[in-house]
Amino acid sequence: MPTSSGQTIAQKILARAAGRETVAPGEYVNCVPDHVVTQEMVWPMHKRNLEKIGATAFARPEKAIIVIDHTPAAATGSPHAATHHMLRQLTRDFGVDNFYGPNTGLRHLVLVERGFARPGSLVFSDEGNIASIGAVGALNIPMSTDVLAPLLNDRHWVCVPRTVRIELVGSLPFGVTGRDLVQAIIRDHEEQGTFLQCCVEYGGPALAGLSLDDRQAILASTFHTGSDTAIMDVDARALDYVDERADGRPYQVMRSDPDADYAAVLTYDLSRLTPMVTVPPTQSGAVDVAQVAGRRIDQAAVGSCANNRLEDMRAAAAVLRGRRVARHVTMYISPGSQNVYAAAAREGLLEVFAEAGATVLSPGCNTCWGYLGVLSGEDVSITTHQFNYQGRNGSTQAAVHLASPYTVAASAVAGEITDPRPLLAGRL
C-alpha cells in the first residue's frame, strides 16, 4: 500500500491516471492513459487479434495515435505496402483521426511536435525510447504488443516503478552533446542493473542549459540503462515549447515532493564529459573517442529517435559544411519528421548534406533498424543509432559504433573514427 513518503513525478502521474491520491513503487494500478501510440510493424498481428476476438471499435479512438514511421517507403516485393493500405482502412473503420502516414516522422516527434505530449500526461506506447516525451513532462509507459489492450479497454495495469534521480550540474564542453552524456550513463549503469524497474528522473541546475532537442536525445536512449522509462523536470523552456503546440489542450505540471523516496540519487557533471563512442557489441561499451580514433569506417549515419531532430541536423552540417565525405564512406541523414525536414531545408542544411556527398532520406526510422543502409560483410559504421548489437543493420560480421552527430559527421569526413573538436574549431 502507499507509504506516507512524498511522491515522485512518475508516481504523481500514475496516481492521477489511476484515480488515486498516491501510489507506491511495486504496486499494480489500473491506469487510464491520455494517449496510446503505436507503429505499423505490429499491426498485421494486431489486426488478426482484433478479428479473432470480434472487436470492431476502440474504447476511445480519439486517444489512439498510429504512425507509419519504420517503413516510410514500401519497395517492390515488400509486405509493407499492404500494411500501409490496411492501416489506412482500419483507422477509417475505427474512427482514428490521429493517423500519420509515411514520411510524417517518428512517433516520438509526432507526440511532442503536435502537442499530444504535455506535462502530467500518461502515454502508453510500444517502445521504451518514447520516453523522449519526458522532455515536456509526459510519462511514457512501454508495453510492447500489449498496447492493443488499452486501445480496447481505455485502461491497463501498470507496476509503479521506483525512481532514480539524476542531478545534472556544470555545462557541456565544446563539441560535446547530450548524446555523449547518456552514453556515459549507460556505460556506468547498464551492466550493474542500477536502474532496473525504475523511472529515471533528470533535474538539476544544468538542465536549464540543455535544449529541448538535447533533452529528448538523452531520454530516448536512457532505456538502455535497463530502466522502464524516464522523465525530466519541467522548466520555463519546456513550458514555452508546450504552450506553442498544446492548441488549448490542458496540462498539469507535476513536480517531485521534497521528501520523495528515491531508489538512488546520482550526480553527473556535464563539464567533465568528452566525445564518446560506444564500441560494439554492447550498449555499455562507451569510451573516449581517443581510444578508438583511427579505425577505418565504411558507413556513417545521422538519424534514429536518439538524434534526428533539427539540432542534430545542424550539428552534422556544422562539420560537413564546405567539406566532403571520404570517398570510401557512404553517409545517410534521416530527419526525424516532416517539420525537421522542412526546417533543415529552410536553413540550407539539406544543401550542405548534398554538397558533402551525403544521402538525405525521407523522415522515418530508416537506417537504425536496417530498413535502409544495410551493412554487408565486415563493414564498419559509426552512427547516432540506438543499438549496436551484431546483425542489427545487416551482416552479423559488421561492427556498429554509436556516437553523437558531431562525431559521426567528423568521422565521415575523415574516413575513420575521429574526434570532432578539431573540425568544429571556429564553427560553433
pLDDT at 2: 44
pLDDT at 428: 83
Measuring CA to CA, which residue among 301, 257, 313, 251 is closest to residue 112?
251
- The whole-chain average pLDDT of the chain stands at 96
Q: Which CATH number fits domain 277-424: 2.40.30.40, 3.30.499.10, 3.30.930.10, 3.90.480.10?
A: 3.30.499.10
Task: For residues 285-293, give the mean pLDDT.
Answer: 98
Task: For residues 329-352, give the mean pLDDT.
Answer: 98
pTM of the shown model: 0.96
| Secondary structure E strands in 64-161 | 64-67, 99-100, 122-125, 139-142, 156-159
Task: For residues 202-227, give the mean pLDDT.
Answer: 97
pLDDT at 36: 98
Measuring CA to CA, which residue among 281, 322, 300 is closest to residue 382?
300
Q: Which CATH number fits domain 9-269: 3.30.1330.10, 2.40.30.60, 3.30.43.10, 3.30.499.10?
A: 3.30.499.10
Task: For residues 357-374, give the mean pLDDT.
Answer: 94
pLDDT in tens, 71-127: 987 777 788 999 999 999 999 999 999 999 999 999 999 999 999 999 999 999 999
**Per-residue confidence at 1, pLDDT binned at 50, 70, 90?**
very low
Task: For residues 234-250, give the mean pLDDT.
Answer: 95
pLDDT at 4 over 90: no
pLDDT at 419 over 90: yes
Report how far residue 70's alpha carbon sits from residue 73's, in angstroms, rounded to the nearest whole number.
9
pLDDT at 345: 98
User: In terms of pLDDT, which residue wins out, 271 or 72?
Assistant: 271
pLDDT at 73: 79
Q: Where in the chain is the domain with CATH 3.30.499.10?
A: 9-269, 277-424
CA distances 330 to 7, 266, 297, 348, Å, are 49, 40, 9, 21
Residue with cell 567528423: 410
pLDDT at 393 over 50: yes
pLDDT at 24 over 80: yes
